[in-house]
Amino acid sequence: MCDNSSSLRSLNLQRNYLQGNLPSQLGNCSSLEYLFLGQNNLNGEIAESINKLQKLTQLSLRNNKFSGLISQRISNLTNLVQFDISSNAFSGTIPDVFHSIGNLEKFVAFSNNFTGFIPLSMSNSPTLTVLNLRHNSLEGLVNLNCSAMVKLATLGLGGNRFSGPIPDNLHSWQALSTLDLSRNKFTGQIPESFKNFHSLSYFSLSNTRNSNLSSALRIFQHCENLSTLFFTLNFHGEQLPADLTIHFKKLNVLIIANCRLRGSIPQWLSRSNQLKLLDLSWNHLDGTIPSWFGNFKFLFYLDLSKNSFSGEIPRRITELRSRIDMDVSMDKTPMDFTFSWKRNVSLSRLQYNQLMSLPPTLDLSYNKLSGSILPEFVFSQNPKMSKLHLTLFLFITIILTHQCVKDASAACHVDDESALLSFKSGITVDPSGMLSSWKKGTDYCSWPGINCRVNNRVTELSLVGQPDQPKSFLSGTISPSLAKLRFLSGLYLQDLRNLTAPFSGLLFQLPNIDFVYIENNRLSGWIPENIGDLARLGALSLYGNRFTGTIPSSISKLTQLTQLKLGGNLFTGSFPTVIQNLKNLT
């Protein structure tokens, strides 16, 4: 390519169908400053020839099939400003050479197989503005030198194995506006020092093991520039705080979904009048839907689905329609800030990655609402409202045709009750009395850990221990009778420590299963090849058990899958590379 001329300065071959290894002749392009090879099918290791291109300032290899280690000789690229190797299959540790790349501003390496720790030279880089290491297998404590990394504006550490408390010095970053710590093993509470995190605008702490939501909200209200707060799959089973002193002045997006929160919609939310998106779905909230939602001038997306709200739909909520008629738009979110997903009633996937593209939505489905559909929902002279009306009509029709019977004890289904009691009989040690109120003839929908929605059928079984409280652990075997829970969509058996039994076959008898979190127990068995038949499955975590065998490549057929955790087991063989083709996997 450069045999006859070494003056080529820019080479852009992105978004083609190129395949094979990088040619060694690339090293002859000694004047090359910009090299873009992303979004092809290139494979193999990074050719040593690239390390000769000492004038490179921008190098993009993203979205290919490169693998192997990153060579220490990458330090020869001393003029690099932007380096993107995301969405490949690189492995091993990230080389500790960033002190030699003194101009590097953006290092993007998400969705690879890196292990080990954040290199010391990286954690002390004074030039980095963007550091995105999401979706790897990095571990240990997060030790970053905030006083040295003075320009860092975006930090993505989600989807790794970082542990311990959330560092209490992060607030000292004067430029950091985007922070993703989701899907790690962080424990404890949000540091009090975050009250002084004045630069923070976007924060995600989904799917970790943090506690004290009330304290977290009281702290984050002091972050004066905070616009987006994302707490999905966290603070499990806590109370949604009713503290009237909580007040978010600039918050545009609040997502606290799938946390199994208790309580009702708090009054303090009525003062968060800059909200554009509010998602409290997949919780255990009850009470009535407040009418003050009609006062929100900018709210175009409201999801209260999969809860236990009762009463009639307040008429004033239809006033959101006039607000949606306005051209309400979301601020452009950072390119590297990943939101999450949820399943709507039509079994399709709704991605939060680009909030600007979300349709105006009011989702009240799968609650216990009563009354009739308000005529204001279905009549409008504004053609912009047609899509919203269709969404509303479908969601609300489901509400009114599938609401639970109020006298639940009179409508208990014999199969569901039998399955739950058989599960209880398999538990031999329950020191905290977690299952003590599970008694025949009582309302099983009110039993701890049970959630019912459609016609009083069990849709969720959630038993979660506390790692620092041994009395919250359970001992015993899992009864195969759980397969009788035909409407079960969420199965959460987490941190119970001493649950045993071969488990594999049970999943395939649950036709409506969406979420499986069976973590930190002693379950055994293997993952059968036909796991690819579970077309609805959106999340699968078997972390911290004793599963054996190989990981089946058929997992790649689970196109709805967004979360996959299989670590901490006894699997053998290699990880199937085809699983990386799952586009929704985060």
Question: Mind listing the pLDDT tens digit for each residue in 155-205?
Answer: 999 989 899 999 999 999 989 999 999 988 898 999 999 999 999 999 999
Exposed e or buried b per residue across 334-359, where buried means at least 16 C-beta atoms within 10 angstroms of its C-beta: bebbbbbbbbbbeeebbbbeebeebe
At CA 534, angle to CA 531 and CA 539, rounded to 5? 90
Nearest to 338 by CA among 144, 108, 200, 134: 134
Return the pLDDT at 510. 84
Q: Could you give the 3-state DSSP secondary structure of residue 541?
A: strand
- Is there a contact between 142 and 118 (Cβ–Cβ < 8 Å)? yes
Exposed e or buried b per residue across 374-397, where buried means at least 16 C-beta atoms within 10 angstroms of its C-beta: beebeeeeeeebeebbebbeebbe
pLDDT over threshold 50, residue 322: no
pLDDT over threshold 50, residue 126: yes
Query: Are 213-398 and 414-581 the same fold in CATH?
Result: yes
Residues in Cβ contact with 339 at an 8 Å cutoff, skipping those fewer than 6 apart: 204, 230, 255, 333, 351, 352, 353, 355
- Is there a contact between 316 and 294 (Cβ–Cβ < 8 Å)? yes
Q: Compute the distance between CA of residue 344 and CA of residue 306 in angstroms, rounded to an integer.
A: 10
Q: Compute the distance between CA of residue 215 and CA of residue 471 in angstroms, rounded to an integer.
A: 25
Radius of gyration over every alpha carbon of the chain, rounded to an integer in angstroms: 25
Supply the mean pLDDT for the chain.
Answer: 84
Residue type, 422: S
Which carries the bigger pLDDT value, residue 539 or residue 215?
Answer: 215
Under CATH, which architecture does the 213-398 domain have? Answer: Alpha-Beta Horseshoe (3.80)
Between 164-168, 465-469, 534-538, the lowest mean confidence (pLDDT) is in 465-469
pLDDT over threshold 60, residue 73: yes
In angstroms, what CA-CA distances link 352 with 20, 254, 308, 338? 34, 12, 24, 8
Nearest to 427 by CA among 378, 373, 465: 465
Domain edges within the chain: 213-398, 414-581
Return the pLDDT at 344. 37
Q: Compute the distance between CA of residue 474 and CA of residue 496 in angstroms, rounded to an integer.
A: 5
pLDDT over threshold 80, residue 236: yes
Note the pTM of the prediction, 2 decimals.
0.74
Fold designation for 414-581: 3.80.10
Task: Locate 446 and state its tokens.
Answer: 């009110």
Q: Compute the distance between CA of residue 554 and CA of residue 576 in angstroms, rounded to an integer.
A: 9
Return the pLDDT at 340. 44
Between 76-90, 211-225, 297-311, the lowest mean confidence (pLDDT) is in 297-311
pLDDT over threshold 90, residue 98: yes
Return the pLDDT at 140. 92
pLDDT over threshold 80, residue 503: no
**How many CB atoms lie under 10 A from the CB of residue 295?**
15
In angstroms, what CA-CA distances link 30 with 5, 8, 75, 268? 10, 8, 16, 61
Between 23-37, 400-414, 456-470, the lowest mean confidence (pLDDT) is in 400-414
- Is there a contact between 586 and 159 (Cβ–Cβ < 8 Å)? yes
Mean pLDDT computed over 547-572 = 89
Q: Compute the distance between CA of residue 42 and CA of residue 32 in angstroms, rounded to an integer.
A: 20
Q: Could you give the 3-state DSSP secondary structure of residue 229?
A: strand
Return the pLDDT at 105. 97
